[in-house]
Amino acid sequence: MEKVLEVKDLTVQIGEKNVLDAINLTAYKKRVLGIIGESGSGKSMLCHAIMQTLPPVAQVIQGEILYQHDNLLHASAAKLRTYRGRHLSMILQNPATAFDQIQTIEGHFRETLKAHFKLTKKEMRQIALEALHEVQLPNPEQLLHYYPFQLSGGMLQRVMIALSLAVQASLYIADEPTTALDTINQKQILTLFNRIRLETEATIILVTHDLGVIAELADDVAVMYQGQLIEHTNVYDLFDAPQHDYTKKLLQARMLF
Ligand SMILES: Nc1ncnc2c1ncn2[C@@H]1O[C@H](COP(=O)(O)OP(=O)(O)OP(=O)(O)O)[C@@H](O)[C@H]1O
């Protein structure tokens, strides 16, 4: 298995508190790494640390974040911009905040593609249409002329994924991507992630509260508890032979439903 991302001994503090405490984590090519853990355990902090979008109050105390063997913590601002726009894709819970409300969907595709490739308008349009088709949004031609506020949360979520597909992102970080969506949209997004896993070379890091989602999609799982990563294993071992008491409780709680 090819390592795409390696987090080594990462500690992040807010005030006196270690919100991430000596985290070691590996994500592999073409695999889905699920991250679970109770509210406040540090899942979002970990995603933001990887994307280098931590809030200003958070301080990295020690560690490394290696993306394709390059330490993101020491990358230049220009390199980080390239990584974020082209390689790393963060799929947010509330996609509306990620869009410029006075820019059409086509405008968003152009801006993203122009930043990383030399393409004509016609080529960019073609790539956008193909990506929107990939995420199974209806009437892509028409959609290109829409503004973000004209689309539902589920549609925007898919446009976000389409933008990442258009640049062939290699690492998707999805922080509770379906929490704000209704059941039908949830299912569609998860199906889409499954297709990305099967049909592209990408790695997906998926934060979720839902063990059902983990069972369905994840190849590997990391369990977070109070800022620590207490278990990091493949999905079969997690369900068959959980090591940590917290993980056992989590699995038992699920059996009750
Ligand atoms: N901007 C902030 N300022 C101060 N503390 C913060 C901030 N953001 C997060 N924290 C704290 O950092 C810790 C980890 O939070 P984080 O959001 O990563 O948890 P989480 O596991 O993603 O929780 P949830 O499942 O509820 O999203 C928590 O104790 C939280 O209160």
Q: Is 66:5 a contact under the CB 8 Å cutoff? A: yes
Among 17, 45, 228, the mutation site with the greatest number of ligand 1 atoms within 8 A of its Cβ is 45
* Average confidence (pLDDT) over 212-228: 94
CATH of domain 3-99+169-255: 3.40.50.300
Query: Strand 3-14 vs strand 58-67: parallel, antiparallel, or unpaired?
Result: antiparallel
The per-residue pLDDT for range 153-181, each reduced to its tens digit, is: 889 989 999 999 999 999 999 998 888 77
Integer Cα distance of 225 and 40 in angstroms: 8
Span 72-105, pLDDT tens digits:
999 999 999 889 888 999 988 888 888 999 999 9
The set of residues, in sequence order, having a beta carbon less than 8 Å from that of 161 and lying 6+ positions away, is: 89, 91, 135, 172, 189, 192, 196
- Residue of 19, 35, 226 with the most ligand 1 atoms within 8 Å of its CB, for mutation: 19
For residue 255, what pLDDT is reported? 58
Q: What are phi and psi of 33, to 5 degrees?
A: -105, 115
> What are the tokens at 237?
């071992």
SS3 88: strand
- Burial, 66: exposed, middle or buried (Cβ in 10 Å; 0-12, 13-18, 19+)? middle
The pLDDT value recorded for residue 250 is: 86
A 10 A CB-CB count for 133 gives 12
Structure tokens at 254: 């699920």
Delimit the domains of the chain by residue range.
3-99+169-255
On the question of pLDDT at 256 being above 60, the answer is no
Question: Ligand 1 centroid to 226 CA: how many Å?
Answer: 10
